[in-house]
Amino acid sequence: MIASHSKPIRIGHRMQLSAVLSAALSALLFLSANATAEPRHAIAMHGEAVLEPGYPHFPYVTPDAPKGGTISYGVQGSFDSLNPFIVQGAAARGLNDLQFGFNVFESLMQRSHDEPFTLYPLLAKSVETDDERTFVEFTLDERARFSDGEPVTPEDVIFTVELLRDKGLPRYATTASKLASIEKVGTRGVRFTFAEGDRELPLILGLMPVLPRHAIDPETFDRSTLKPMTGSGPYRIGEVRPGELLVLERDPHYWARKHPSKIGFDNYDEIRITYYRDANTLFEAFKKGLVDIFPETSPTRWQTGYGFPSVTSGAVTKDVFENRLPSGMLGFVLNTRRAVFEDVRVREALAGLFDFEWSNRNLYGGAYARTTSYFDGSELASSGRPASQDEKALLAPWPDAVHPDIMSGDWKPPVSDGSGRDRAFMRHGFELLSEAGYRLESGRMVDSEGRPLSFEIMLRGANGQEVATVWQRTLRKLGIDARIRSVDDAQYQQRVNTYDYDVIMQRYTSSLSPGVEQVGRFGSATRDLDGTFNFAGVASPAVDGMIRHLLEARERDDFVTAVRAYDRVLLSGFYVVPLYHQPEQWVGRWTRIGRPEDTPLLGPQFMTWWRSPD
């Protein structure tokens, strides 16, 4: 047992990447802890929480939604473990799941999906931190219980952090490496003191699961298991057929069923998650009514595959949700560690030679939008809006870091006529290459020393083959030799980890609250360290400066300003050939499943849907 006000438990730094990120963050942030703190009902990444103390429920739920019945989800793949927190094994979905719900395991706080990044109480009754966020203290709700009836205690919280640090997925060790100490405070409090001030860390800790110390053997925790684990969530594990089916059953004694953060959630008596071998088989199961909800990702199927009788009769409906989250960036990443991509004019030329109009029309039925920002579709995007005076002030130390058209908001990738033969479309790229010292010679694009402009596009298997071929065909018309090479998963991962490639196809996901992960993606500190997400090899003082500003921002307006400036610097570096994104979210739904009228900022939340009474 750990006594009240016991000596803090010291947390050592782990992992080379964690150390580099910590050092980079330390250099970026100079914070001091002088402000007083007091317990609060919520914590926001920037500014204040929208909901006041005493809020009745989240605004996007139906508080009196019907309770009962079964929901049947379908997923592609298989599973051989019921532990979602470790490396070994393929864990079953739905236990601790962003899409299907945190049904078995809960965290200290609950995220509101109607705000960019704000947490409200769940296992923790209150949260306390100082203005500089050098620590966070959570006070547990005295009502919180695990499904076996045992109370959730500070000792469970401390045990979980240490267990996941030592035995869990690498991200938990990364979080723990940022802690200087943990200590129990009073009878229900847990205080985390940070090695460096970190505005995001209190929220990351608030979202960590809490596991029961009395029901887990630390010695075997990192081994995959099919033995049901004990959690504090609204469901308990029922039937398990490895690789085929997981059934979750409502816990009738769930401690938080009337909690404001859970009103309108967890509306089914039973959740069934069935596994299918491929996407086509899964869709056929949906058509037959074996699966209730089908999140659609194929534009072709969305346009042509929903003519079956249940759609015609109205038993199945096609829900379309406006996507208000940042698009992220899907594109061909140019490895600037390679000499061929050192010149930004060459990168800009190549980025402008992807014929989006042809590919969108011929491959995707016009379903996609061209990506023009790392944060397209959100308030964080810089595209289509001129830089504000505040942005210009942030960028002033690096006057050449942003392309004039990107600063004015007028930039967009070159647009073709969609014919695949648009010479005017290719002229912009040719002119940029000429400025960089290239010329056409005997049908080949060569530099001043006669060396051809040549590189390899490395793909993971067949993923991206069609779109890479579209780009290759356009480049070939200008004498550029772009070779496509597909490799297996193991070789791909090994080469990516050591940056042994010219070009890869990569998706950078985005949120409404980008944070310290940007150091790992684009910060100078990670350019020469194997195994990071700095695929493009970015090492730019302007990029580092903008990351520092977005990490330092306290208020939402200042944060938005910093991210837009950061977006402009990244776009001006032309590190990625922007491709496309899906501007809407599509879901096929049997109408026996009801849903709230209002959709939150972060998109549809299946855990707030319900089965309509027969």
Residue-range domains of the chain with CATH? 1-323+587-614 (3.40.190.10), 329-581 (3.10.105.10)
Q: What is the reported pLDDT for 36? A: 52
Express each pLDDT in 178-188 by its tens digit. Answer: 999 999 999 99
Express each pLDDT in 545-560 by its tens digit. Answer: 999 999 999 999 999 9
The one-letter code for the residue type at 349 is A
- Spell 512-548 as b/e; 16+ CB within 10 A means b: bbbbbbbbbbbbbbbbeeeebbbbbbbbbebbbbbbb
Express each pLDDT in 19-44 by its tens digit. Answer: 444 444 444 443 333 345 789 999 99
Q: What is the reported pLDDT for 26? A: 46
CA atoms within 13 A on the CB side of 312: 4
| Alpha carbon 568 to chain centroid, angstroms | 21
- 13 has pLDDT over 80: no
Q: What is the reported pLDDT for 548? A: 95
φ and ψ at 339, to 5 degrees? -60, -35
Q: What are the C-alpha distances in Å from 45 to residues 30, 48, 118, 246?
A: 18, 8, 6, 35
Q: What is the reported pLDDT for 11? A: 44
The one-letter code for the residue type at 571 is L
- 5 has pLDDT over 50: no
Q: What is the reported pLDDT for 197? A: 87
Mean pLDDT of the chain: 92
- 530 has pLDDT over 50: yes
Express each pLDDT in 213-267 by its tens digit. Answer: 999 999 999 999 999 999 999 999 999 999 999 999 999 999 999 999 999 999 9
Express each pLDDT in 150-193 by its tens digit. Answer: 999 999 999 999 999 999 988 899 899 999 999 999 999 999 99
